[in-house]
Chain A
Amino acid sequence: MLKYIEEYRDAVAVKEIIDALHRITTRDWTIMEICGGQTHSIIKYGIDEMLPQKIRLIHGPGCPVCVTPVELIDKAIEIAKRDKVIFCSFGDMLRVPGSAKDLLSVKAEGADVRTVYSPMDSVKIARLNPQNEVVFFAVGFETTAPANAMAVYQAARERLKNFSLLVAHVLVPPAIEALLLNPGNQIKGFLAAGHVCTVMGWADYEPIARKYSIPIVVTGFEPIDIAQGIFMCIRQLEEGKAEVENQYARSVRREGNLHARSMIERIFKVVDRKWRGIGEIPKSGLALSDEFEAFDAEKRFNLLRLTVNESTECISGLVLQGIKKPTECPAFGTRCTPEQPKGAPMVSAEGACAAYYQYRFRKK
């Protein structure tokens, strides 16, 4: 698979697609890319700068680190601080600020916080350390849900009593609907996240496209993918269509990955979830199903009632809904930098603020 990356970063091919886009665009269109990985590619490769002026791209909420509410970070910190706990997480959650500190600081204070590359690694840690409570921070969209489900399934099979998940899973389609229901939203088309759809397929997007008459193009992450996704979306808009189309055909099928989906359905259930800066969205997240609730860290550590308010200065909610650009935030690049982030979008590799800071801030 890795052999086929350079081909999707070919300058000539990207230019051809962009030229075609210039030829077909006759009206003003605002479209949103859902996924933070796409945002980074767009900013990194400067795709937004090549587009016809009539096309405006706004950045969506698809950064799992970014939408995880402060409350869950505080819960993670609360758990990590406890005696005999080994707290496992993907790397980019560690620097996300909670209401007082981040997981890296808690680690510096002596907590056993470990970076893992797969939830299965944390199951292994639980197996090797029966005297410790091992907790995995299950963050992410539908993309990471199957592996996290698998970890719980495996732990249950091995009857591991010292393993649990702090679940912060969120789902894309309800977020899209919430954005569309927002009064004053300008979005006329979506680039859906290719990896999420690799797992879930795109059937869930069809009713949304119909109900709101909005084209949704399942799109990949490389420059050519994104240019092509935008082209397909604009072509639909110009032709007055509103369908779900698949640009990322080398990875996505309509039904998604059936094995992965059945694993998710077995281990998790759909619940209402709070999104950082956006608030609660109905049926927009996953929690452990009743059968597996013994693996729920919030219950095990009795943290269900901990609630925390979001920082007032960080405008991440508006950024995540595409209402404001990161550079419109008064703290951007001054009081909020990757070294001293006020909010998650400045930390994550997929955060819109980090993308602007890294590639645009100080740009000549």
Chain B
Amino acid sequence: MPIAEHKNVLLAHGGGGKLMHQLLKKIIFPSFHNRYLEQQHDGAVIDINGSRIAFTTDSYVVSPLFFPGGDIGKLAVYGTVNDLAMCGARPRWISLATIIEEGLPMETLSKVVESIKEAAAITGVEIVTGDTKVVDKGKGDGIFINTAGIGIIEKPVNINPQNVCDGDNVIINGDVGRHGMAIMSVREGLEFESTITSDCAPLSHTVMNLIENDVKIHCLRDLTRGGLASGLNEIASASNNQIEIDETLIPISDEVKGACEILGLDPLYVANEGRMVIFVPPSDTDKALEVIKRDENSKSAAIIGKVKKSDQPIVLRKNSIGITRILDMLSGEQLPRIC
């Protein structure tokens, strides 16, 4: 099978698409087989004598370190906080491990740390342990950060891909594709008419609000690499359902639409850092939408589709012409086209 045919690891093996999932399935999962990994959740939910905690980890390797709308420090906190929130947990404690490339200006490091401090304050988490390593010049991209996080599941909620069922509505908390296009515009020196800013933001407040308002949530998934398409495919496959979305209902800013059009990219595959999909039963949909929209970051939240029982775990996308097509998981990375 494909994995075996690649002698070396390619960038696409970390791209959030099919190749990455093959890597996980063929090499990682079989080696560490257990009931937590099997859930394919954003974090592990662990029961300790009746109290439940969520535990997760993530590494951050963004280049450039500072981009419109965010920086690596913010990402490192929000990314991990968001994964905890996806388990229905209130994020509490975070570890901070940095791998710093020799020669990084002290001022840059201070700015990143300051940003981490600010993001931690906003999300109410404490940095309680950490590690610092420095590698030779040329062996790192300025700074790599790993954070692990622990959150507490305070209410008897059960948020899990396996709960997604026939009839659930799919809500998205805002427009998609901004993070990926913001990074691309600075990284590749592309100049668009207006600056695209990353959607980088914490989702924990929104999730806590939903839980406190007793909205019945079947599943949450934050959308990162691989974009909306990959997130939906993961849920379809983990819950063994069909998800049908209506492309015309997905909020996308004109700037992102235009930039994607020029580069031949599909915004549904572009990375986000402050977006999630929320799976709720029809009974709780209106309330969920109302609560989500209270958040400044989620004003453009919308219902974009529905879950249907099916023997095939696939995602279908209905386009503006009314034609339905499979929305597949990305093969590798999206490559800008020639013409």
A residues whose Cβ falls under 8 Å from a Cβ of B: 2-3, 5-6, 9-11, 14, 37, 44-46, 49, 64-65, 90-95, 104-105, 107-109, 115, 117, 121, 139-141, 143-144, 195, 223, 337-340, 348-350, 358-359, 361-364
Q: Which of B6, B19, B325, B335 has the most CB of A within 10 A?
A: B335
In the complex, what distance in Å separates the CA atom of A115 from the CA atom of B338?
Answer: 11
Are B326 and A93 within 8 A (Cβ)? no
List of B residues within 8 angstroms of A121 by Cβ: 189
Are B321 and A348 within 8 A (Cβ)? no
In the complex, what distance in Å separates the CA atom of A5 from the CA atom of B322?
Answer: 17
Within 8 Å of chain A (Cβ to Cβ): is B11? yes
In the complex, what distance in Å separates the CA atom of A311 from the CA atom of B156?
Answer: 59
Are A11 and B320 within 8 A (Cβ)? yes
* Minimum CB–CB distance for A239 against chain B, Å: 28
Question: Closest chain B residue to A93 by CB distance?
Answer: B338
Are A95 and B332 within 8 A (Cβ)? yes
Are B323 and A104 within 8 A (Cβ)? no
Are A117 and B190 within 8 A (Cβ)? yes
In the complex, what distance in Å separates the CA atom of A141 from the CA atom of B337?
Answer: 13
Within 8 Å of chain A (Cβ to Cβ): is B254? yes
Contact with A along B100-123 (1 / 0, CB 8 A): 000000000000000000000000
* Minimum CB–CB distance for A44 against chain B, Å: 6
Question: Closest chain B residue to A350 by CB distance?
Answer: B337
* Minimum CB–CB distance for B138 against chain A, Å: 13
Are B335 and A115 within 8 A (Cβ)? yes
In the complex, what distance in Å separates the CA atom of A339 from the CA atom of B337?
Answer: 17
Interface-side segment among B34-42, B51-59, B256-264, B280-288: B256-264
B residues whose Cβ falls under 8 Å from a Cβ of A: 2, 5-12, 18-19, 22, 188-190, 254, 257-258, 261-264, 312, 314, 319-323, 325-326, 328, 331-332, 335-339
Out of A3, A46, A339, name the residue touching B332 (CB < 8 Å): A339
In the complex, what distance in Å separates the CA atom of A109 from the CA atom of B9?
Answer: 9
Are B339 and A46 within 8 A (Cβ)? no
Are A9 and B320 within 8 A (Cβ)? yes
Are A338 and B331 within 8 A (Cβ)? yes
Are B9 and A349 within 8 A (Cβ)? no
Out of A14, A95, A108, name the residue touching B335 (CB < 8 Å): A95
| Residues A64 and B339 in contact in the complex (CB < 8 Å), given A5-B261, A105-B10, A339-B332 | yes
Are B325 and A363 within 8 A (Cβ)? yes
| Residues A90 and B326 in contact in the complex (CB < 8 Å), given A2-B258, A10-B320 | no
List of A residues within 8 angstroms of B7 by Cβ: 105
In the complex, what distance in Å separates the CA atom of A95 from the CA atom of B331?
Answer: 11
List of A residues within 8 angstroms of B22 by Cβ: 339
List of A residues within 8 angstroms of B190 by Cβ: 117
Are A2 and B257 within 8 A (Cβ)? yes
List of A residues within 8 angstroms of B336 by Cβ: 90-92, 115, 117
List of B residues within 8 angstroms of A64 by Cβ: 338-339
